[in-house]
Amino acid sequence: MSQRQIVYTGRKIQVATDLLTTVDGRQVRRDVVIHPGAVVILPVLDRHQIVLLKNYRFIVEDTLWEVPAGTLESGEEPQQAAIRELAEETGYQAARWHYHGFVYASPGVLTEKMHLFFALDLTPGPAHPEADEHLQPVILSLQTALEMIRRGDIRDAKTVTTLLLWDRFYADQFLPPSTS
């Protein structure tokens, strides 16, 4: 059982201090970031090509390779958020979607659930990123992206997770065999 005190409320998150009772009866304090959840989308063009974003992240002062992603809005279902974020960040619309499930971003301090989606049968369109987003969609081969993970060029955990899940468990299931 815990007691939670909200100590800060921001635009997307809250910060709280929890007073917890451990299984052996001790009381401990833990800081927790309360997050509404997010969606993560891997846009798949065909058996060999995917879309990633070059995304400047002010928090880490670095441009990262990432899959499209975004925060759930109040009352929004994850698939609706995925459709919205894919269109906003890349311009693509998907005719087929596959939901993998969710992973926790950093469960030691953060409540964020990241819902993982694969977007298939894509149709291009204009992107409409938010004003504070500096995004550049880039078409890459899946093999190039996997090599970038191996070299350490892709340092975003949600992107590494989603790419490896797709390659290991889903690519053969959802796409026809290559004719080349």
Please identify which of the residues 73, 76, 133, 147 carries the catalytic annotation.
Answer: 133
Q: At a CB cut-off of 8 Å and minimum separation 6, what does 9 contact?
A: none
- Distance between CA atoms of 31 and 40, rounded to whole angstroms? 25
| Coil, strand or helix at 92 | coil
- Distance between CA atoms of 12 and 3, rounded to whole angstroms? 22
- Distance between CA atoms of 151 and 160, rounded to whole angstroms? 12
Active site residue 133: yes
Residues catalogued as catalytic? 133
